[in-house]
Amino acid sequence: MSLPNRLLNKNFMLLWQGQTISAIGVQFFAISMLFYVKHATDSAALVGLMQMVSTLPAVLMGPIGGTFADLNSRRKIIILCDFLDGLVVLLLAGFLLFTPADLTPTLLFLFVTATIISIISAFFSPAISASIPDLVPKERVATANSMTQLSTQLAVFIGQGLGGVLFRVIGAPFLFLINGFSYLFAAFSEMFITIPQIIPEKKAHWKEQFAEFKRDTLLGLQYVWKHTGLRYLVLVSAILNFFSVPIIVLLTFYVEDTLKATTDWYGFIVAASGVGVLIGYVVVGAVRMSGKVRSRLMVAFIIAESAGYGLLALVRDPLLALVLAFLDGILSGVVTINVTTLLQIATPGEIRGRVFGLLSTIAGGLTPIAMGLTGVVADLVQQNIPLIYAVCGTTMLLITGAVSLKREFREYLACEPLPEVTPPAEPAAVTPLGGP
């Protein structure tokens, strides 16, 4: 089977629609989890801990999930992960609906659910990222990524806009139900997808399989280490992820205590950032750039995004903070799509899952730590939010600026697509999840 010659083909659209629906459900789950823990405990530490356990397993297991996605059917991984996510969330919803409101077991169940979903994500995310370049023409990969991220950001926009209201009106259990069924819808939609992929022949003995798996995982590490520009990209991603976490986690305190604004402005600022990200996604999807132009644009946007976070420390006007959030959103959207597309077009397909899994682990590895530390540091400095924002923004600006001076980094950002290779297609027939 030849590679697709148009963007809006059946396989990509089925994947896109399933992920769009489930992404809205994920936002309902996230906002319900946040508000439930906050209202039940009034503990910032527990809220931060919940966010940490919902991301840490995915980060730690990223390389394993990436290798698994390269050695096994990505289509089956995607279907099974969405199915398991739906089952776990529906069990949580049933627990909340049909058991007495005993806080301790409920919180425990919620933490366990968040952890399981994070573990599943370690396998799901590399499989999705590695599949997209094989579902669309190579010259439309950036547009496909823009569509995918655009739908995700729209889901954030809808989820943040409706989630709080729905939480108040129908409560967390019914929002969890919506999320569970959205996962099952995605799994059903994905059963009709064909994903071209060359799957290596497996060894007969489990010891040989384990040795091969370990060797392939190390191969991903060696690939990233060998490419200096890629190493710098991972460093920049890690720095931006780590120091942007306090900006997000402390936003409620920033709005009420620093801007002296009502809680409505929290929603306005989040929405403005979301709209900005959407615009960034649309711009990247609509405008085709040469490698050199992309390199210069990304360097400028990475530095500007870092500076924008730091400027929030100086702002006391809610409207100006909203404008900054909007502009930072545009910058973030452009950078995110370009980084994803760059990794997809510059990485061979047979190792792509491992590279994405490793990047997720390295770049995202510090994020859960930042979530856990943010509340502690805020209390130590007596919730001096402008100070924390200033330190984070300045650190991001200095490090990203220094890395942007490296020639290898700029050259990697200017990479062009690898030569096209046409792999055989995976059968499109609908089979049971555990079937051949």
For 184, the token pair is: 């099952």
Q: Which domains does the chain have, with CATH numbers?
A: 1-197 (1.20.1250.20), 208-415 (1.20.1250.20)
Inter-CA distances, 205 with 71, 202, 216, 434, Å: 16, 9, 17, 20
Higher confidence at residue 55 or residue 436?
55
Given this model, what pLDDT does residue 33 score?
79
Given this model, what pLDDT does residue 208 score?
60
Instruction: For the chain, give the mean pLDDT.
Output: 78
> 415 — alpha (psi -120 to 50), left (phi > 0) or beta?
beta
**Residue closest to 318 by CA, chosen among 373, 359, 257, 232:** 257
How does residue 424 score in pLDDT terms, banded at 50, 70 and 90?
very low
CA distance 195 to 114: 29
CB 321 within 8 A of CB 386: no
Q: What is the pLDDT of residues 142-190, one digit of tens each?
A: 778 778 877 777 777 777 667 667 777 887 888 888 888 989 998 998 8
- For 61-78, b/e burial (b = at least 16 CB within 10 A) is bbbbbbbbbbbbbbbbbb
pLDDT (average), residues 214-234: 74
CA distance 197 to 72: 9
Given this model, what pLDDT does residue 391 score?
92
Higher confidence at residue 52 or residue 201?
52
- Across 49-63, 369-383, 394-408, the highest mean pLDDT is recorded for 394-408
Cα atoms in the Cβ-side hemisphere of radius 13 Å centred on 241: 20
* DSSP code, position 21: H
Length of the chain: 436
CB 330 within 8 A of CB 280: yes
Judged against a pLDDT cut of 70, whether residue 20 lies above it is answered with yes
Judged against a pLDDT cut of 60, whether residue 375 lies above it is answered with yes
Phi, psi of 167 (to 5 degrees): -60, -40
Which residues are CB-contacts of 61 (< 8 A; sequence separation ≥ 6)?
A: 119, 122, 123, 361
Residue with tokens 């996962």: 183
Q: What is the pLDDT of residues 384-397, one digit of tens each?
A: 889 999 999 999 89
Given this model, what pLDDT does residue 34 score?
72
Provide the 3-class DSSP secondary structure of residue 259. coil
Q: What is the pLDDT of residues 99-137, one digit of tens each?
A: 756 777 888 888 888 888 888 888 888 888 788 888 888
**Residue closest to 283 by CA, chosen among 294, 291, 292, 272:** 294
pLDDT (average), residues 79-85: 92
* DSSP code, position 351: G
CB 196 within 8 A of CB 4: no
How does residue 426 score in pLDDT terms, banded at 50, 70 and 90?
very low
